[in-house]
Amino acid sequence: MTNEKLTQFFQSMGPISAGQAADIASVFVPKAIGKHEFLLQAGRVSDEYLFLDSGFMRAFAYDTDGHDVTTGFYASGQVVFEVASFFNRTPSQEYIQALTDCTGWAITHQQLNALFHARPEFREFGRAVLVRGYAALKSRMLALITEPAAARYASLLRASPEILQHAPLKTIASYLGVTDTSLSRIRKGNPPK
């Protein structure tokens, strides 16, 4: 496995030259996560910052009734970590699990901070990743309030067309905030009223 996608990702997010991107990527180590294995479990502090090279993952938490609710999906080319736990050094309330066999490039919290302090161009990259993530989270929160479930489903398919190949419908339904039955009706073109 080469880190070519990782170096391209660094360059796509900000003013990082090819040489700088290669130097930064050299600090990351390859990581494989088997289908159904966890990158993070609730109660543990998130200590890995993972660039997902291949595969599909999800984040989830348990609601007060004990049902797992998907809070995020991650596809190839994305960064995977639990932001609050990672930066605040507090136990996570979420799980992050591989839905398929996954490969990626990982770095620890300590190594990431060292890079941020040593490399101004990497600080800019980190800022860009967090801003993009915050904007996506805000958009998702607003969509849950302002858009019908059918529109949220259509948006998810546009953003991540491969999701139906990798995520069970129950998982997609929980992410959209609907029941399995409602999602089934939406997929058949008869959204719930």
What torsion do the CA atoms of 179, 180, 183, 185 make, to the nearest 10 degrees? -110
Q: Residue 101: phi, psi to the nearest 5?
A: -60, 135
pTM of the model: 0.88
pLDDT (tens digit, 9 = 90+) per residue, 137-192? 899 899 889 999 999 999 999 988 889 899 999 999 999 999 988 898 898 886 55
- What count of other Cβ atoms lies within 10 Å of the Cβ of residue 189? 7
**Residue 79 carries which side chain, given as an amino acid letter?**
V
pLDDT digits (tens, 9 = 90+) for 82-126: 999 999 999 999 999 999 999 999 999 999 999 999 998 888 888
pLDDT tens, position by position, 122-145: 888 888 888 988 998 899 899 889
3 confidence band (pLDDT: 50, 70, 90):
confident
Q: Which residue do the tokens 């050094």 mark?
A: 89
Residue with tokens 């797992």: 68
Alpha carbon distance 81, 46 (integer Å): 7
